[in-house]
Amino acid sequence: MVDRIEDLYAVIPAGGVGSRLWPLSRADAPKFLHDLTGSGHSLLRDTWDRLEPLTGPDRIAVVTGRAHRAAVEEQLPGVPDRNVFLESEPRDSAAAIGLAAAILHRREPDVIIGSFAADHVIRVLPVFHWAVQQAVTIAREGLICTIGITPTEPSVGFGYIKKSAMLSIDGAPEGALVERFVEKPDLDTAKQYLESRDYLWNAGMFISRADVLLAEIEANNPELHAGLIELAEAWDDRDRRGPVVDRVWPKLPKIAIDYVVAEPAAEKGRLAVVPGHFDWDDVGDFASLAKLNSHGRKNDLAILGENARILSDAASGIVVSHTQRVISLIGVKDIVVVDTPDALLVTTSEHAQRVKGVVDALKLTGRGDVL
């Protein structure tokens, strides 16, 4: 059992649809509501279960779209009503995480918030918890801290965080300053990163005192900050919240937290990183999903779907079965088959990144009914 961290509040932004996982992920059934690991639970629920030992059930907040309220509450029966922050429309991650920071800071001025995506997969929990404990220790010192994943291969699918000097803060022996963020590299560069041991995968986790985070937002985007403060002041007043949300939220700048908080803080030497030595995946596409579910066995066919009726002969890859249909796969290697009631996808691991293009094409050609 891990000890609770009394001043920590976990924030789970549950927003992205996961277009590259279409037709499994949809506007009305986004990635975080799916069981992508065969755990029997949605990614959102798995995220909750990872955080709850650190915070207790009353100190986890979820930021999600109004359309997903019922699904989120069904997945997380323990979440207090007042900790579900509903967006009337998507305004990107700075608004979502900033809203949580502003509300929680108003409720509890010294609170430390940790933001963890609702749709990532993490295994080996004690190692995850140890990383969070170190990050909180660093955050208490007034730095913003991220957790960067120790690379296990030269991935070209993730962004990287370059470490600089070690911090030597008591209770956070692995903490270091962040020199800079780097975009997804090519394979040769990724290999150099892996060898150098100075680069970690950017998993988008941020741990910070709420006031520090808000100050960073204020410094870099005063308009966004002002809106968030106005929202937070009205939020816990049942009569005032609605009108303020309707007026303020739709006008908030739409921007990722990386640009408003992480990168500027890194430039100023105010961003720290703790390495996470745990298994992590953002399940960005079906190739990643196939890998995750084949447990590394190369010629396997991973099968997702409770009532899957699959007949395969010399097939490998992944099949997602969300219908009752018999699916027969013969002699197809590294295949991706996603079978849903109104849409079917057939591709290969190699082309999994191109699924987003299909989603865009469907939008353009007026077939949004299946998105």
Q: Token pair 């018999």 is at which residue?
A: 326
Interface characters, 4-43, with a second copy (x: CB under 8 A):
-------------------x--------------------
In the complex with a second copy, which residue's Cβ is closer, 64 or 321? 321
In the complex with a second copy, which residue's Cβ is closer, 183 or 313? 313
In the complex with a second copy, which residue's Cβ is closer, 150 or 348? 348
In the complex with a second copy, which residue's Cβ is closer, 67 or 346? 346
Closest distance to a second copy from the beta carbon of 348 (Å): 6
Closest distance to a second copy from the beta carbon of 345 (Å): 5
Which residues are paired to 60 by β-bridges? 10
Cα-based distances in Å from 313 to 153, 292, 324, 331, 333: 31, 21, 20, 6, 10
Determine the size of the site formed for a second copy (CB under 8 A): 36
In the complex with a second copy, which residue's Cβ is closer, 216 or 339? 339
- Using CA atoms, how far apart are residues 44 and 368, in angstroms rounded to an integer? 25
Amino acid at 84: V
At residue 212, φ and ψ (nearest 5 deg) are -65, -45
In the complex with a second copy, which residue's Cβ is closer, 168 or 365? 365
Interface residue with a second copy, options 240, 243, 357, 363 (CB under 8 A)? 357
- Using CA atoms, how far apart are residues 117 and 125, in angstroms rounded to an integer? 16
Closest distance to a second copy from the beta carbon of 337 (Å): 6
- Using CA atoms, how far apart are residues 170 and 138, in angstroms rounded to an integer? 9
Residue 43, H or E segment: helix 43-55
- Using CA atoms, how far apart are residues 204 and 165, in angstroms rounded to an integer? 21
In the complex with a second copy, which residue's Cβ is closer, 18 or 23? 23
Closest distance to a second copy from the beta carbon of 336 (Å): 9
Closest distance to a second copy from the beta carbon of 292 (Å): 20
Burial label for 353, CB within 10 Å (0-12, 13-18, 19+), is middle
Interface characters, 278-317, with a second copy (x: CB under 8 A):
-------------------------------x-x-xx---
Among 18, 208, 16, which Cα is nearest to 98's? 208
Closest distance to a second copy from the beta carbon of 303 (Å): 14
Cα-based distances in Å from 297 to 289, 301, 302, 309, 316: 13, 9, 9, 21, 10
In the complex with a second copy, which residue's Cβ is closer, 209 or 322? 322
Closest distance to a second copy from the beta carbon of 318 (Å): 12
- Using CA atoms, how far apart are residues 326 and 92, in angstroms rounded to an integer? 40
Instruction: Considering only residues 322 through 351, tell me which ones interact with a second copy, judged by CB under 8 A.
Output: 324-332, 335, 337, 339, 341-348, 350-351
Q: Which residues of 97-131 are buried (b: 16+ CB within 10 A; e: fewer)?
A: bbbbbbbbbbeeeebbbbbbbbbbbbeeeeebbbb
Interface residue with a second copy, options 80, 361, 363, 366 (CB under 8 A)? 361
Of the candidate spans 29-37, 128-136, 186-194, 359-367, the one that interacts with a second copy by CB under 8 A turns out to be 359-367
Cβ-contact 119, 17 below 8 angstroms: no
- Using CA atoms, how far apart are residues 203 and 310, in angstroms rounded to an integer? 34
Residues forming the site for a second copy (CB under 8 A): 23, 309, 311, 313-314, 324-332, 335, 337, 339, 341-348, 350-351, 354-355, 357-358, 361-362, 365, 367, 370
